[in-house]
Amino acid sequence: MADPKPTMRTILGILIVILPCAASGQALADGFYLRSAEDSAPFALTQDGEKVPLGPAQAVAIRRSGIHSQDNANTTFWISLGIPYEVHAKAKSYVLVVANRAYPWAGSGGGNGDYEINFRVSGVDNVRDVSRFLQTPIEYRRHPGHQLLVSFTPALTSFRIGDAVNVKFRIENIGTNAVSFMKGGHYRGSSRDNQYTFSAQFLGKQVPDIGSNVHFGGLATRRVLEAGDVFEDEISLSKWFVFDKKGLYEILGSYELTFNDPNSETYRPIWTDYVTGKFLVKID
């Protein structure tokens, strides 16, 4: 018996996918299914080898679609599909099946006049199959070509025990092209800005971190540095360490940079990186 094939039509820019139901033992038609609660139902395997039982195939009107890489190595991808809002009640049961591989629902939400459903895809071959089925190009991560001069400088030449120990952070764009990155988004639920990471040594021994790297996101703003521009910030190291002994502390500071395209209206990441610098803190 020939494999069932999807029928595809485009009406006023809306992709309509009409799929036959898959029978047990048959290769599954590419498309959308409802997840079944019946163990005896036809199934497909996920990327991790999990068996996903499938119910009826679904006709899904896709109003918009996007495929975006989630890591610099371009190995994991996020699929975003805008569909009519009235089907949101069953969206969590949707399973995308392409090339006999199952991609269960990974998230959803309203907005922009439609309802967005999401799927996560791992692997270059898998995402290419999904791209062909959805007729949607893949947005890969790409290096922004940044050239940055970075420094961490203590606010004072020396501090006394009990003082707040602040450090000034500076990024200068010494390249020829503009760069854009996000500041913020690493502080909610935390007592400090975990976009920064610090480690410290005193007399060759690691200084304990008194805080936590756990956070729940937070608001973030875009910062664009044209060639020659400078970004500056100041941060309290007292939220990371107790400076209770006199002498020199060796500090390694890092700052996470999530780059986006400075010429794009979206803030979607195109690259994630860290800038780092070593410095000394003197306690008198």
Tell me the domains of the chain and their CATH numbers.
Answer: 7-139 (no CATH), 148-283 (2.60.40.2970)
Checking if the pLDDT of 64 tops 90, the result is yes
What is residue 88's three-state secondary structure?
A: helix
How large is the average pLDDT for residues 199-210? 97
Amino acid sitting at position 40 = S
Tell me which of 271 and 9 has the higher pLDDT: 271
How large is the average pLDDT for residues 21-34? 73
Summarised one tens digit per residue, pLDDT across range 128-172 is 999 999 999 999 999 999 999 999 999 999 999 999 999 999 999
What is residue 151's three-state secondary structure?
A: strand
Computed over every residue of the chain, the mean pLDDT equals 90
Give whole-number Cα distances, 50 to 46, 129, 146, 152, 209, in Å: 5, 19, 41, 47, 39
Euclidean distance between CA atoms 66 and 77, whole angstroms: 10
Looking at the whole model, is its pTM more than 0.85? no
Euclidean distance between CA atoms 166 and 156, whole angstroms: 8
Query: Kindly report the CA angle at 137 between 135 and 141, in degrees rounded to 5?
Result: 155
Tell me if 68 sits within 8 A of 81, measured CB to CB. no
**What residues have CB less than 8 Å from 236, skipping those under 6 apart?**
164, 165, 166, 192
